[in-house]
Amino acid sequence: MKPTLCADCSHKYKCDAQRLACPQFKFFVDTGRISEATHRAPTRAIYIELFHTEPAMTPRKEKV
């Protein structure tokens, strides 16, 4: 089975929920290769750079 980049990452759910991306993900998008040399500190800036869009803010649910 081919390894996936984010499958074993501790930031996976945080990145999905908050639309973040890390330098390792950016390296993968840019080169198609996985490199353990790049770190996995996700940021909104990298996400925006990769996807060219500001993520929409999800409205908070009001307490009833």
CA distance 44 to 54: 9
This prediction's pTM? 0.72
The verdict on residue 45 lying in a domain is no
List the domain range (segments joined by +) for residue 31. Answer: 10-38
Query: What's the number of domains the chain is made of?
Result: 1
pLDDT, averaged per 10 consecutive residues of the chain (64 residues), comes to: 77 92 92 83 93 66 60
pLDDT for position 39 = 81
The verdict on residue 19 lying in a domain is yes
The verdict on residue 47 lying in a domain is no
The verdict on residue 27 lying in a domain is yes
pLDDT for position 34 = 85
The answer to whether 25 touches 5, Cβ cutoff 8 Å, is yes
